[in-house]
Amino acid sequence: MVVDLKQVNIFQGEIKVLEDVNFTLSKGEFAYLIGKTGSGKSSLLKTLYGDLPLKSGRGKVADFDLQSLNRRSIPKLRRKLGIIFQDFNLLADRTVHENLNFVLKATGWKDRKNMETRIAGILAKVDLLNKKNSMPHELSGGEQQRVVIARALLNRPELIIADEPTGNLDPDTADEILRLLRELATEHDSTVLFATHDYRIIENYPARILRCNKGKVMDEENFVI
């Protein structure tokens, strides 16, 4: 299992936001995470990538014990993850190529030829090879999100955590981004947990649903608004 949570309680400070969370995500699986604002979705995601400590219960992500995470192990965990946010968080003063190169350097890549090959390959996958020397502000919203997907996939992550990645995009572009993410995740055999408020996407591209509601996480086979 890439994600395995058992009897987990999730806290923001001293406030419990989710209790008795139990679910697994297997290799290559795609699942939506839904719930109203304030229902605990972001807290759950932050726990999975080590931004919130796991205080209660048992949890493993990409073979890392969440209760044992520390300053040394959190960066190692995140090298196995691809994280995509609604806000693109690209480095505004660097080109597309430089944004991706920065990530490779930060995650321990050394060989320049291998780095160039990886960047060119992933940019080709997201159809942005001709934009590698563009600055982020020169790209459309959909193009920027494709750069973010490329960045998330650079290290062939075991788990992709996508937090409202289509929230700032028009419906057609949102569909394009979702299809691209699912296609590339399948190609890399990466697990995807996709948080969204866009029920239209879920109806058009059905998958397993995890719903945060009233302090619980419910596993739903069928989509019900």
Q: What is the pLDDT of residue 221?
A: 63
Intervals of the chain under pLDDT 70: 221-225
At 65, the amino acid letter reads D
| Contact of 28 with 191, CB cutoff 8 Å | yes
The SS3 assignment for 138 reads helix
Q: Which CATH number applies to 3-93+157-220?
A: 3.40.50.300
Measured CA to CA, the distance from residue 154 to residue 79 in angstroms comes to 10
β-pair partners for 84? 162
> Which residues of the chain form beta strands (DSSP E)?
3-12, 15-25, 30-34, 56-61, 64-65, 81-85, 159-163, 191-195, 208-213, 216-220
- The pTM of the full predicted model, rounded to 2 decimals, is 0.92
3-state SS track over 20-54: EEEEEECCCCEEEEECCCCCCHHHHHHHHCCCCCC
Q: What is the pLDDT of residue 157?
A: 94
Measured CA to CA, the distance from residue 56 to residue 10 in angstroms comes to 7
Q: What is the pLDDT of residue 24?
A: 96
